Structures are given as structure tokens and as C-alpha cells.
């Protein structure tokens, strides 16, 4: 059975968002946006699961399978997959995140049928050759080593592991050498069979396409798949607020992350959190950049960002500085946290940051890949299309008092988690230095 829901959206400037959604009887969801003025199509198959849905013995399995699907199918070798991808001139790629896994491509509109069949073959017909799996384990081990050699990435893994202790959301997506060593073919196939089922898929496409064409392709390659029984399990983590100091003697800089819990991706306050982060450290005019870098000269890089999940989230501040200036950098950061809690935000500053957020959103409309990704994320989070105009309205609705209210709620000394990585040379920090 196929159910179809045609949902056109019209913007204020009469821009037509030609959105169509279809649900197959086996649970597969297809969402498309027709953009006739382009000659390309971006499309992808997205799983409603990521590394947070792994048991401890499966740690890294979602990412491992994402890699393994490119290592040959029942009808194509690894080399043939690469050759066909290059021949299409596309951008076939994949990613694994904590709540979502995605496989996507961007091709000329006339190549959509061939490219769709190739991606469907990868996802529905993997061979899982033991020799190729062994090679891929080695590749991912090198990827893990690469992060160990990239301190501004490693510090975030250290932070999340300690912020969400003993929870899958806190574990690195890549897994560990110990768990990777256990990923033999039978175990890989078993986990694949659990999550690669239609009820866990959202197919999203944006570009010069016809919805019926995508429905026909999806029906041909995914429509006959058994619905299966999806059993994703994940509890909501309890955030911790430890102070973690990790020595890495060979580093010239020390790397600092300060973080606190913040509203989830589904919260009414998600846009408030985004604006709070932007005001603090979202660009060159942000408070932290101006105060800590430009006025005091303590850092080269400092920024804030949010990571929002379905049921939780966190806001982090990152800085890289010399060990001798760590204490001053933390003090300067606490000064800015106190200021945003105590003082009203000027209307001009609030509007400037709103304009920055809205400009980023509108620029993304020029990319079919971004529009495809938004379709998938909105479907998985809200089961509906959210137009840019609706997002802009919600950003515009955020007041200075909303930002100050959230800042006072989340920036508390006892809630701050701190991770520091570097040649610390006797550096120490306690809770009193985190008073904000």
C-alpha cells in the first residue's frame, strides 16, 4: 500500500516549495522537493538511527557498516562502485552521526535512475566479504589514530565521554580498537539486518525531479522489502559536570572545552539556544571573539556551538591557547557568561545575530544537498516540512529576555563541565574558578 500526501508550501515572496511526501506500506518514507530551475538532483537514504542506538558491545558498529557497504555488493566489486560513481560525475558519500546515518549523492538530473540504482544496491545487497571487512577495520583504526593526532577534534571526544558518562551518546562514533576487533561477518550481518529495514529509512531528494519518478525508483528497489520490526533503544542521558585535565606533552597549544546542558532539537527553546550561542561565539563580532581574542589577545580560535539531540543537548565553548594563558582565558570566558546573564542584550546586537542566522538559512537554499538534508531532518524530527519562512518567524520571535532567561538557566557553576587537553605543565582548575 502507498499513501501519498502532497504538501505544497508558499513563501511570502511567492516562492513555491513543491514538497511531496509518500509513505509505503512497509514503513518507507519518501520526501521530495522539485526545483525546476536547477539541472541536478541531490538524493539520499537516511536512517533514523546512529551510534546512540548501539549497545556497548556494538560500539562503532553503525559507522563500520556505513564503511562496509562501499566494499562490494552481490553484483558490484569495490572497484566497480568507485568506477560507476566517477562515471556519473556525482558526489556519492555517507556519514554516521549519533542519531542519524546517511547515504547521499548529487548528480545531473538525467543520471538519477542510474545513481539511485547504485545507491540502492549498496544499501540492500551488501556482500560483507570477510577480506574486505578486515581491510576496513584497518582503515577505521587509522581514522581513530588521525583523531588522536588532531587535538581540536580529540578534545570534543574527551568532553562528550565525560559529559555523558556510561551512555552511548558520550561514546566516540568510530568505536575503539577493542570493539572493532570483534566485528566479524556474522555479527555485522546481524546488526545490519536489525536497522537496515524500510521502517528505519527516509528517502529525501531535491532538485530537478518529478515526485512520481522517485516513487517509482523507491518502489522498484525498496518497495518489496519486508517491513521488519524496528527496535531502537536509547535512554536519555544524565549530564555530568566534571573537570577533566588530560596531558598530551607533544602539543604546543592547550585545548579547552567548557560545556553545559541546553534544550533539545525538539524544544521550543531551540532557536533561543542557537541565538545564545551565536551571541557568545558565533562569529568575529561575537562577544567571546571580541573580548578574549581581539581585546585581550589570549587565543587565536574561540567559538561556541550547540549539539542538539531529540531529547537533550549541550552548548560548548572551545578555545585554543598556550598553557600559560589557560587560566586567563577561562576567567575571561566566565566574565562573558556573567555579563550575558546579568545585562540586557542590546536590540542592535540581537538583530545582528538574528540576521546572521537567517542569512545562513537562506544561503543554504541555494544548495540542493542542503535542501535534501533539511527535508530528511524535518521528517525525522517533526514528520513534516518546515518552510524557511516558518523558521525565520521563529527566529524573529526570540526576544532579548528569552536569551537572558536561558542563559541564567543553563550557565551555573555547578553545571559547567570542563575538559582541557595539552602539555599542562602543572595547570590546575577548581570549581571556584568557574563561578559565573
**pLDDT category, 243, cuts 50, 70, 90?**
very high
10: CATH: 3.30.830.10
Does 367 map to a domain?
A: yes
| Whether residue 412 is found in the same domain as residue 265 | yes
Q: What is the pLDDT of residue 93?
A: 96
Contact indicator for 223, 26 with CB cutoff of 8 Å: yes
Distance of CA 256 to the CA centre of its chain: 21
Give tens-digit pLDDT for 327-349.
999 999 999 999 999 999 999 99
Same domain, 394 and 251: yes
Task: Give the residue, 281 or 16, on which the prediction is more confident.
Answer: 281
pLDDT at 8: 40
276 lies in the same domain as 409: yes
Domain boundary among 221, 254, 271: 221
Q: Is residue 237 part of a domain?
A: no
Residue 207 lies in a domain: yes
Distance of CA 252 to the CA centre of its chain: 29
Mean of pLDDT over the chain: 94
Model pLDDT for residues 372-381, shown as the tens digit of each residue: 999 999 999 9
Residue 354 in domain: yes
pLDDT at 364: 87
Is 145 inside a domain boundary? yes
pLDDT digits (tens, 9 = 90+) for 385-408: 999 999 999 999 999 999 999 999
Is 136 found in the same domain as 258? Answer: no
Q: Would residue 226 count as lying in a domain?
A: no
Q: Which residues pair with 257 in a beta bridge?
A: 318, 419
CA 328, CA 100: separation in Å to the nearest integer?
Answer: 38
Q: Is the pLDDT of residue 232 over 90?
A: no
In the chain, % of residues over pLDDT 90: 93
pLDDT > 70? residue 250:
yes
pLDDT interval class at 13 (50, 70, 90): very low
Q: What was the pLDDT predicted at 15?
A: 52
- Domain ends where: 188, 221, 254? 221
Q: In what order do the strands lie in the sheet with 254-261?
A: 243-247, 417-422, 254-261, 313-321, 301-308
Alpha-carbon torsion (133, 82, 45, 121), positive or negative: negative
On whether both 292 and 429 belong to a single domain, the answer is yes
Judge contact between 301 and 292, C-beta under 8 A: no
Q: What would the grid cell of residue 322 be?
A: 598556550
Q: Identify the pLDDT of residue 185.
A: 96
55 in the same domain as 19: yes
Q: What is the CA radius of gyration of the chain?
A: 23
- Asked if residue 316 and residue 171 are part of one domain, the reply reads no
Residue 250, phi then psi, degrees to nearest 5: -80, 0
Strand, coil or helix: what is 345?
Answer: coil
**pLDDT greater than 70 at residue 204:** yes
| Tally of domains within the chain | 2
**Is residue 133 located within the same domain as residue 251?**
no
Q: DSSP string of 376-426?
A: HHHHHHHSS---HHHHHHHHHT--HHHHHHHHHHH--GGG-EEEEEE--TT
- pLDDT of 12 reads 35
- The answer to whether residue 230 is domain-embedded is no
Say if residue 284 is in the same domain as residue 198. Answer: no
328 and 208, same domain (yes or no): no
DSSP letter for each residue of 208-256: S--HHHHHHHHHHHTTTS---------PPP-----EEEEE-TT-SSEEE
Query: By the 8 A CB rule, do 413 and 435 touch?
Result: yes
Assess whether 165 and 250 both reside in one domain: no
Separation of alpha carbons 147 and 156, rounded Å: 10
**Residue where one domain finishes, among candidates 163, 186, 221:** 221
Residue 104, all three cell numbers: 547521499
Q: Are residues 189 and 269 in the same domain?
A: no
Asked if residue 176 belongs to a domain, the reply is yes
> 244 has which bridge partners?
419
342: cell is 546579568
39: its cell numbers: 539541472
For the segment 129-142, what is each residue's pLDDT rounded down to a tens digit?
Answer: 999 999 999 999 99
Residues 77-122 pLDDT 10s: 999 999 999 999 989 999 999 999 999 999 999 999 999 999 999 9
Q: What is the pairing mode between strands 93-96 and 243-247?
A: unpaired
User: What's the average model confidence in pLDDT over 312-326?
Assistant: 97
Q: Which residues participate in catalysis according to the annotation?
A: 66
361/271: higher pLDDT: 271
Cα distances from 52 to residues 27, 47, 97, 381, in angstroms, run 22, 13, 9, 16
**Domain, as residue range, for 17:** 2-221
- Helical H segments across 263-304, by residue range: 270-281, 287-288
Amino acid at each position: 500500500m502507498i499513501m501519498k500526501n502532497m504538501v505544497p508550501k508558499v513563501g511570502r515572496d511567492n516562492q513555491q516549495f513543491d514538497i511531496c511526501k509518500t509513505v509505503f506500506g512497509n514503513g518507507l518514507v519518501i520526501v521530495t522537493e522539485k526545483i525546476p530551475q536547477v539541472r541536478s538532483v541531490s538524493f539520499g537514504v537516511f536512517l533514523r538511527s546512529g551510534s546512540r542506538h548501539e549497545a556497548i558491545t556494538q560500539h562503532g558498529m553503525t559507522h563500520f557498516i556505513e564503511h562496509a557497504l562501499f566494499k562490494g555488493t552481490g553484483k558490484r566489486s569495490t572497484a566497480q562502485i568507485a568506477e560507476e560513481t566517477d562515471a556519473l560525475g556525482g558526489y556519492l558519500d555517507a556519514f554516521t552521526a549519533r542519531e542519524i546515518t546517511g547515504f547521499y549523492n548529487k548528480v545531473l538530473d538525467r543520471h538519477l535512475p542510474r545513481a539511485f540504482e547504485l545507491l540502492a544496491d549498496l544499501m540492500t545487497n551488501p556482500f560483507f566479504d570477510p577480506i574486505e571487512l578486515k581491510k576496513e577495520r584497518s582503515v577505521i583504526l587509522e581514522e581513530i589514530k588521525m583523531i588522536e593526532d588532531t587535538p581540536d577534534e580529540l578534545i570534543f571526544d574527551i568532553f562528550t565521554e565525560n559529559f555523558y558518562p556510561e551512555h552511548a551518546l558520550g561514546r566516540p562514533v568510530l568505536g575503539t580498537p577493542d570493539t572493532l576487533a570483534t566485528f566479524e561477518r556474522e555479527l555485522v550481518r546481524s546488526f545490519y539486518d536489525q536497522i537496515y529495514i524500510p521502517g528505519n529509512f527516509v528517502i529525501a531528494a531535491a532538485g530537478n525531479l518529478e515526485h512520481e519518478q522517485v516513487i517509482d525508483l523507491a518502489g522498484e528497489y525498496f518497495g518489496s522489502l519486508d517491513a521488519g520490526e524496528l527496535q531502537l533503544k536509547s535512554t536519555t542521558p544524565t549530564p555530568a559536570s566534571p573537570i577533566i585535565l588530560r596531558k598530551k606533552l607533544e602539543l604546543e597549544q592547550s585545548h579547552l572545552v567548557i560545556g553545559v546542558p541546553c534544550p533539545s532539537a525538539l524544544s521550543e527553546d531551540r532557536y533561543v539556544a542557537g541565538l545564545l550561542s551565536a551571541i557568545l561565539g558565533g562569529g568575529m563580532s561575537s562577544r567571546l571573539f571580541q573580548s578574549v581574542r581581539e581585546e585581550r589577545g589570549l587565543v587565536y580560535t574561540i567559538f561556541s556551538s550547540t549539539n542538539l539531540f531529540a531529547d537533550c543537548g549541550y552548548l560548548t565553548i572551545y578555545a585554543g591557547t598556550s598553557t600559560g594563558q589557560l587560566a586567563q582565558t577561562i576567567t575571561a570566558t566566565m566574565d562573558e557568561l556573567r555579563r550575558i546573564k546579568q545585562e540586557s542584550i542590546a536590540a542592535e546586537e540581537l538583530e545582528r545575530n538574528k540576521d546572521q542566522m537567517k542569512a545562513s538559512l537562506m544561503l543554504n537554499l541555494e544548495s540542493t544537498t542542503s535542501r535534501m538534508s533539511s527535508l530528511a531532518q524535518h521528517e525525522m524530527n517533526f514528520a513534516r516540512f518546515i518552510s524557511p519562512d516558518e523558521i525565520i518567524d521563529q527566529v524573529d520571535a526570540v526576544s532579548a529576555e528569552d536569551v537572558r532567561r536561558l542563559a541564567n538557566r543553563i550557565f551555573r557553576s555547578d553545571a559547567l563541565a570542563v575538559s582541557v587537553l595539552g602539555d599542562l605543565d602543572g595547570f590546575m582548575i577548581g570549581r571556584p574558578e568557574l563561578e559565573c
